[in-house]
Amino acid sequence: MPYEQKSSQVFAYPLEKVWIAVISSVQHIGGKVVQKDKKNGKLIAQMDKKLFGNYLGDRSQLEIQFTPENEGGTRMDIYAFPLNAVGQKLMFGARPGVVDTILRVLNQELEDRLAGKPPAESL
């Protein structure tokens, strides 16, 4: 199983709405936005070892690129990988499934926010 994960998704919402929803979703699931470049549609977020109180074991970094699509939609590409204790890309020894879990929960949280559903409180 590769440590690095890539994810792409297209939303039928304008970039501004998806941008705001992603930032809110990251913060809600315990992450923090460490870099924002709205002009170029790039966001970098770091996720903690815990997700809704459940210990995952590794920190993760998400590099998110937003691209406007035809007819007002937005494409979101995520490059995600585990981090070591000092914030560097983890090249070996990562726990399996951590990055997958982060991506799955973030995507679900984002879809719920865009659909107007209340935020989740657990995995």
Please give the domain boundaries of the chain with CATH numbers for all domains.
Answer: 5-115 (3.30.530.20)
pTM of the model: 0.90
Q: Is 9 helix (H, G, I), strand (E, B) or coil?
A: strand
Closest CA to 42 of 60, 61, 64: 64
Neighbours of 111 (CB within 10 A): 14
Q: Which amino acid is at 42?
A: K
Give the C-alpha separation, 92 to 114, whole Å: 36
Tens-of-pLDDT digits for all 123 residues of the chain?
568 999 999 999 999 999 999 999 999 999 999 999 999 999 999 999 999 889 988 999 999 999 999 888 999 999 999 998 888 888 888 888 899 999 999 999 999 999 888 766 665
